[in-house]
Structure 1
Amino acid sequence: MIKVAVFDFDGVIVDSNHAKEAAFYRLFDGNEKIPRAVVRDVVRRNVGTRFDILRDIFVLAGVPAERISPMVQEHAERFDASVQEWIAKQGLAPGAAETLQELKQRMCLYINSATPEDALHATVKNLGIADHFHGIHGAPSTKEENLRAILGREGIEPTEAVVIGDGEGDWYSAKATGAHFIAVASGFHDWSAYTDGFPVISGISEARDIVAKIS
C-alpha cells in the first residue's frame, strides 16, 4: 500500500521547466559579452541549481574569478523574481489542484525538487498549496538524500512510497532507494530508452489512477 507520494515540482506541479530556461535567456539579453549560445550551452547540459548554472555561464564568458560570486548572487535574485512572477501568472499545471486534493486524503504528500529550498517554499506558499504537503524539500541536498530523509521521517519501507517526476534525478532517487516511480512526459526528459517498466504519464492528473493501481 502506498503511504507517501513524493512529487517533483517543476514540470509536474507547475509547467515551469521551459519558463526557467527562458528566464536565463532574458537575464543576458543584450549582453554582448555573454552571447545566447553560451547561455544555451550551459542551461542544456547543467542539471544543477540556478547558482551552478550562473556560475558556469560566467566562467565560460571569462568573467574574472573575484567578480563571479557577487554576480551569481545578483543574477540569481533577478532570475527568481522572473520565475516567481511567471508562476504566479500561470498557476498550477492542469489537474494539479484536483490531484493533490484527492491524494492528500489517502496518503502523505511531499515535494522533492532541485530548486533551492528557500525559493521553493516561497513559490509553494504563493500558490496556496503549502498545506497539502507534510514536507517541502529542495537543494542543496540531492533528491536521493531528501527521499531517504522522507522515508526515515515517515518510518516506512521504500515500497510504500512513490516518486512522481519528470527528470532523471527523480528516477534515480526512486531506483536508489527502492521506491516506486511514475515518470511524467513533460518534454524535459526522454523516457523512451529506459527499460525499468515504470509507467509514463502525460501529466499529473493521470497520477491518481496509477497510484491507486500500485496501492
Structure 2
Amino acid sequence: MALQCIVFDCDGVILDSVPVKTRAFARIAAPYGQEAQDRLVMFHSVNGGVSRFKKFQWFYKEVLGREISDEESERLGRLFVEYTLDEVRRCPLIPGVKDVLDTWKGRLPLYVCSGAPHEEVLTILRERQLDHYFVSIHGSPPAKAKLLGQIVASLPIAPQDVLMVGDAPTDHDAAEEVGTLFYGVGPDIKPASESLYPWEPDLTGLNDWIKARAAR
C-alpha cells in the first residue's frame, strides 16, 4: 500500500474561509432572535461539510417549526453568497497548503471534494488561480461521502491508497465510508485518540506526512 492520490476539502483545508461562512449563517438567522441565531451557528459548526441548503432546511424545521419552501431556500442561498463571496475571494490560504500543492502537482493526482455548491467552489478556485493544481474540482450535490466515492471509483487505484484531507466530521465520515486514508486539520476535528487519524491545527506538517507514504 502506498499513497497515490490526494483529495482536499476546500473551506478550512485550502481556504481559511470557515469563519466567513459562520458569520453568514449568523446574519441569516439574526432576524429570528439570539436563540435562533445561536442554534443555527451551533448546528453549522458541528456539521461542517454539510450543504448549506441542508442547514437551511434544518433551521426552518427544527427552529422555526415549519418546512422551508424551494423559494425560501433559494433566497437564503442568494443571501449566503452575497454575505460571503467577496471575503472568500480575499481570505488567506490555510498555512502549508500551498507548499503541498506545489510539491505534489504533477506527481500525484489532486482533487477537490467540497460541500459547497459545485459552480461556486469551481469559480472561487479559478479566481484564486488555484484550479490548475487539480485534476478536477467537485462540489455538492451530492453529499460528501457519495462525492468522494465517485472520485475514488473513477481511479485505477484502491481506496486505501487515496488520502482525504478534511476539517470536519463529515469529511472523516466520508473517508471512513469510502475506505480512504484521512488527515484532519483545524480546531473542530481533533481525535480523542492519536491512533484514530493524524491531525494538526494547520497543514504545515502534511508534506512530510505524505512524503513518508507516497508511492516512489
Same fold (TM over 0.5): yes
Q: Of residues 32, 38, 44 in structure 1, which corresponds to 2:42?
A: 44
Shift of 1:94: 2.4
**Are positions 1:115 and 2:116 aligned together?**
yes
Shift of 1:28: 4.1
1:171-191: per-residue Cα shift (whole Å, max 9, x none)?
Answer: 12222222211111x123342
Aligned to 2:58: 56
Map 1:1-215; keep pairs closer than 5 Å: 1-29=2-30, 31=31, 34-45=32-43, 47=47, 48-59=50-61, 60-62=63-65, 65=67, 68-184=69-185, 186-193=186-193, 195-196=195-196, 198-215=197-214
Q: Distance in 2 between matches of 1:21 and 1:49?
A: 13
Check whether the contact 2:3–2:210 (CA below 8 A) recurs between aligned residues. yes
Q: Distance in 2 between matches of 1:72 and 1:147?
A: 25
- 3-state DSSP class of the match of 2:21? helix
Distance 1:54 1:100, change over 3 A: same
> Which sits farther off after the overlay, 110-119 or 138-147?
138-147
Q: Distance in 2 between matches of 1:175 and 1:28?
A: 33
- 3-state DSSP class of the match of 2:212? helix
Shift of 1:105: 3.1
Shift of 1:22: 0.8
Q: How many residue pairs align between the two structures?
A: 208
% identity of equivalent residues = 23
Structure 1 gap ranges (5+): none
Letter in 2 for 1:187: P
> Which sits farther off after the overlay, 166-175 or 36-45?
36-45
Structure 2 gap ranges (5+): none
Letter in 1 for 2:130: I
Check whether the contact 1:110–1:136 (CA below 8 A) recurs between aligned residues. yes
